[in-house]
A = this chain, B = another copy of it.
């Protein structure tokens, strides 16, 4: 689902105004650059404008840095938050897991077959269980156990890895630890969690058991950015499945695994394709 030719992704967020699209498109056509995808959205409630534009690399075009320097003038005029991402640099993803391995298995499969175009420089877990499957993929496995007393230093070790390995995105693939407020802040907008319920229903622990108790007829999963407010982070993607009275909590857990896999994989793909922009406590997701 990715453009395979070498390309760039320009993402923009700024106050809405007349002339933004013209300025951006004019800039790109002025450099004779070919746009393959472009989406924008003006939020009438917040008055904010969001844009994602994909353009192809072409022989003789300015270098990315020259392009950035040149675009800065346009950006300043409209007070833009913006970035130009280079498709040849695969996003570097650090995966955190505990013992449940379905999301890990799914991400590793998409990674090794190239359907999720990312690098995975390391997997971190607070348990030793999943070492074998991770190392089979040629990925270093870091067992960093955590207790109440060692939480601060364990998180420091993870953050040190994030820095040292130039990590772009941390993925909590059913990592059963609540991150500290400091950790959440440090990873702001670059840490995705999969919550095993259709948020905002069933926040907190054992959501499938909560769903069973409430007798809902549909269950779901939610991928969201991690914020210091547990399970309240901006939602990136959700999906659901029908259930009924015959399903025990264990059945819901089993059904939920397939939903979690797909939802998390999509959220990681959207993020790494720069399709997700931040809009206050919400997201703009330029999904296809």
Contact = CB atoms under 8 A, between A and B. Distances in A.
Interface of A: 1, 18-19, 21-26, 28-30, 32-45, 101-102, 105, 109, 113, 115, 136, 198-202, 214-218, 220, 234-240, 244-248, 251, 254-255, 257-258, 262, 279, 281-285, 287-288
A202 B202 CA distance: 12
A251 B1 contact: yes
Nearest to A16: B34
A284 B199 CA distance: 24
B216 A199 contact: yes
Contacts of A23: 29
Contact of A246 (B35, B41, B246): B41
A29 B22 contact: yes
Given A218-B238, A262-B258, A288-B244, A42 B33 contact: no
Q: Among the interface residues A22, A33, A38, which one has the most CB atoms of the partner chain B within 10 A?
A: A22
| Copies of this protein, total | 4
B36 A26 contact: no
Given A22-B26, A199-B214, A214-B235, 4 more contacts: A21-B25, A26-B26, A215-B282, A216-B235
Nearest to A100: B113
A101 to B, nearest CB: 7
A218 B240 contact: yes
B42 A40 contact: no
Nearest to A200: B201
Contact of A136 (B26, B136, B282): B136
Contacts of A26: 22, 25-26
26 contacts: A1-B251, A18-B32, A18-B33, A21-B25, A22-B29, A22-B30, A24-B25, A41-B245, A45-B248, A101-B113, A102-B113, A136-B136, A198-B198, A199-B201, A201-B201, A214-B235, A214-B282, A215-B282, A216-B235, A217-B236, A217-B237, A217-B238, A218-B240, A245-B284, A246-B288, A251-B288
Contact of A214 (B1, B101, B109, B200): B200
Nearest to A239: B218
A219 to B, nearest CB: 10
Nearest to A4: B250
A200 B200 CA distance: 8
